[in-house]
Amino acid sequence: MTYEYKPISTSAGAIRVLVLQPAPHIDAPIEGYLEHITYTSFPYIAISYVWGSATKSHHLAIDGHSFGVGQNLYNVLRSVRDKSKPLSLWIDAICINQNDMQERGQQVQDMALIYRNAEQVVGWLGDKTPDFDAGFSLLKLLIENDSEAYLKDTAFETSWEALTSLLDRPYWTRVWILQETAINTKVHLRFGINPNDELTVGDLEDFDNMRFEVVSKWRELHPENEWEGSSMQRFDVVMNNVYNMGYLPKLCPLTADEFQPLLQSHMCNGPLATNALDYVYGVLGLFDSAIVSVDYSISARELYLKVLETVQHRAQQLDFLSWAWGGYAVDSTSAFGNPFGLPRWGMDFSYRTRFVRPIPLANASRPQRLIWDTFYRSSGDSRQILKFDMANNLFVARGVEVAILDLIGTIANTKESFTIWPEDWSSIAGLGNLASPGKQFDSRSDGQDLALWSLSSEKVTFSQLNIWWRTLFGDTLSREARIDSSEEDKASIPPKDRDGVENLCKHLTEYLQIQVHDGRRMFKTRHGRLGLAPPGAESGDVVCVLFGGDVPYVLRRMGMDNWLFVGECYLHDMMDGQALSASGCETTFTIYG
């Protein structure tokens, strides 16, 4: 018969642990029993792993009864089991009654405390593969040494491929690993059954620096090699799944009273979850106070909107509107689906990729830190608590109307185009047919370049071109100093990684300058001001500055006082509080999605 759980105690800190019996060899039957303890009274090891397939393809004996587990968990238990002594393990799939929603919710609410109080955390990344030794050896060398020798030596070419495969395992993309590995000081990441084949989270502290040091030196050594599709590009992509783990422990706990830590704990193209609720529940343990209670009976829509309202009322800011799913849709039939029925201004925490990224977020300090800030302060230091009506997909906000969109250009797409901007963007600005350079053109063109360019174009003044150029890149040129590391920050970076961080600052600046307009449309207002609008913007839409918002927003009038949310935007010379300094009248907006 299958295992029947005994109810867990309702006392504080009550958990079950699996006491795993020793075995003389790896293929011996797996046996153990469940013991009820509190996480502060008894030493145990917490296991961090990927569930994998839901098919229960193996069985073990717990208290003499059959207990079905998947292939991954079966491999974990075989690998961590001791030969001579029992081990007390906390494993979510076994120690939580997954069929009891109330218990499941309570245990997940306590997940951070369970991992924090564990004697140690073992993260199991999977079995060794034939190329494991080559990749793991190179990783150890990179942690301890400069990468240049290994980039020059052709003998290491296969090792780089092996390392990329090692870092491309599903474990690194699992949303739960962020808190499971960040809140305990003794975390061991193990491959296979050999305890020597493991890393500590401390080994990952400099992964971000190492990543950019490796990539920048590869570019220097291989200037003729095409980056797109190269093995080093793939290495760079998979490293994106890993480096958060290294410095998250130093930042925790994150503040639960602001949006940016919550948003950046996910990052675009970040961790994955099978259950849409876990995109929120899986990071709650990173924060200094509760954001929401864990409840697996509610819908993803209800949870995402509850998080949004809770944090907005604490922060009194509008950061979430820069991540609203509707702002990235070209129209109502866009390929960006809305599986949870969220309003256009709602944030879908399950989104992993976006055609349009939020208008640049610039690091307020070190480029490798998780928590970033924005370039802009359109509403100055103003704040407001929004009034939400989730049932009717609306919120009420205060702000000012700034401008009306007149001419709208086509959507920029540098991923599929060989130019930085679409052909019609220069004509919208009254510059005629100004040909766009290729992607390799340095966006930080100096005044002399612009002057020569203006002379080559009839009836184009330097002032006109300068405004258009600054709009094109969201005025990031004048703000890029905010990206640079301070001298104190540089001193804290290992000498072997400093070149990589300097290159990171350079490439990050260039990336942000493209990011600010990629996927957006250039527009001119009825009064001649230039800006960048979301892809779904239309002529006649209104640019508004809402109190508490760092950037302006495009709204579409639906009646006397009702508006449709379209998305965030950039409006030249209106990004630093100018709209509130002008004589514009304060307006109350009822904004629908």
Q: What is the DSSP string of 465-495?
A: HHHHHHHHTTT-GGGGGGGSPPHHHHHTS-G
Q: How many domains does the chain have?
A: 3
Residue 201: inside a domain, yes or no?
A: yes
- Would you state the structure tokens that stand for residue 566, as one six-digit string? 């379209």
* 173 shares a domain with 241: yes
Residue 112: inside a domain, yes or no?
A: yes
Residue 321: inside a domain, yes or no?
A: no
* 422 shares a domain with 524: yes
What is the structure's pLDDT at 522? Answer: 92
Task: Please state, in angstroms and rounded to a whole number, the distance separating the CA atoms of residues 361 and 259.
Answer: 13
Task: Please state, in angstroms and rounded to a whole number, the distance separating the CA atoms of residues 198 and 196.
Answer: 6
Residue 364: inside a domain, yes or no?
A: no
Last-in-domain residue among 73, 92, 124: 124
* 150 shares a domain with 105: no
* 519 shares a domain with 459: yes
In angstroms, the Cα distances linking 106 to 101, 183, 427 are 9, 19, 60
* 430 shares a domain with 458: yes
Residue 25: inside a domain, yes or no?
A: yes
Q: What angle (nearest 5°) sits at the alpha carbon of residue 466, between those of residues 457 and 367? A: 135
CA proximity to 16, closest of 119, 97, 102, 75: 97
Last-in-domain residue among 199, 222, 247: 247
* 170 shares a domain with 92: no
φ and ψ of 551, to 5 deg: -130, 160
| Rounded average pLDDT per 10-residue block, the chain, 593 residues | 86 96 94 97 96 89 95 94 97 96 94 96 93 91 79 82 91 88 92 87 76 81 78 83 74 80 58 88 90 95 96 94 76 66 91 60 39 74 97 97 95 69 83 58 47 54 76 64 46 56 54 65 95 93 97 94 94 92 86 94
* 70-104 core/surface letters (b: 16 or more CB in 10 A; e: else): bebbbbbbbbbbeeeeebbbbbbbbbbbeeeeebb
* CB of 44 closer than 8 Å to CB of 119: yes
The residues near 297 (Cβ < 8 Å, ≥ 6 apart) are: 101, 105
The residues near 119 (Cβ < 8 Å, ≥ 6 apart) are: 43, 44, 45, 186
* 138 shares a domain with 118: no
* 102 shares a domain with 52: yes
- Would you state the structure tokens that stand for residue 76, as one six-digit string? 């974990």
Which residues lie across from 533 on neighbouring strands? 521
Residue 362: inside a domain, yes or no?
A: no
What is the structure's pLDDT at 443? Answer: 45
* CB of 2 closer than 8 Å to CB of 68: yes
Last-in-domain residue among 124, 147, 178: 124
CA proximity to 198, closest of 348, 48, 398: 48
Helix axes 207-221, 132-144, angle to 10 degrees: 100
φ and ψ of 472, to 5 deg: -55, -40
Given the structure tokens 């001193």, which residue do they identify?
491
Task: Please state, in angstroms and rounded to a whole number, the distance separating the CA atoms of residues 556 and 543.
Answer: 9
* 217 shares a domain with 108: no
The residues near 173 (Cβ < 8 Å, ≥ 6 apart) are: 241, 270, 271, 272
Q: What is the pTM of this model?
A: 0.84
The residues near 254 (Cβ < 8 Å, ≥ 6 apart) are: 261, 262, 265, 286, 287, 288, 370, 371
Phi/psi-derived region of residue 346, left when phi > 0, alpha when psi is between -120 and 50, beta in every other case: beta
What is the structure's pLDDT at 417? Answer: 61
* 81 shares a domain with 140: no
Task: Please state, in angstroms and rounded to a whole number, the distance separating the CA atoms of residues 430 and 417.
Answer: 23
In angstroms, the Cα distances linking 506 to 76, 443, 477 are 43, 12, 12
* 531 shares a domain with 433: yes
CA proximity to 534, closest of 354, 363, 375: 354
* 503 shares a domain with 435: yes
Residue 443: inside a domain, yes or no?
A: yes
Residue 23: inside a domain, yes or no?
A: yes
Q: Which residues constitute the domain of residue 241?
A: 132-247
Given the structure tokens 């020569």, which residue do they identify?
452
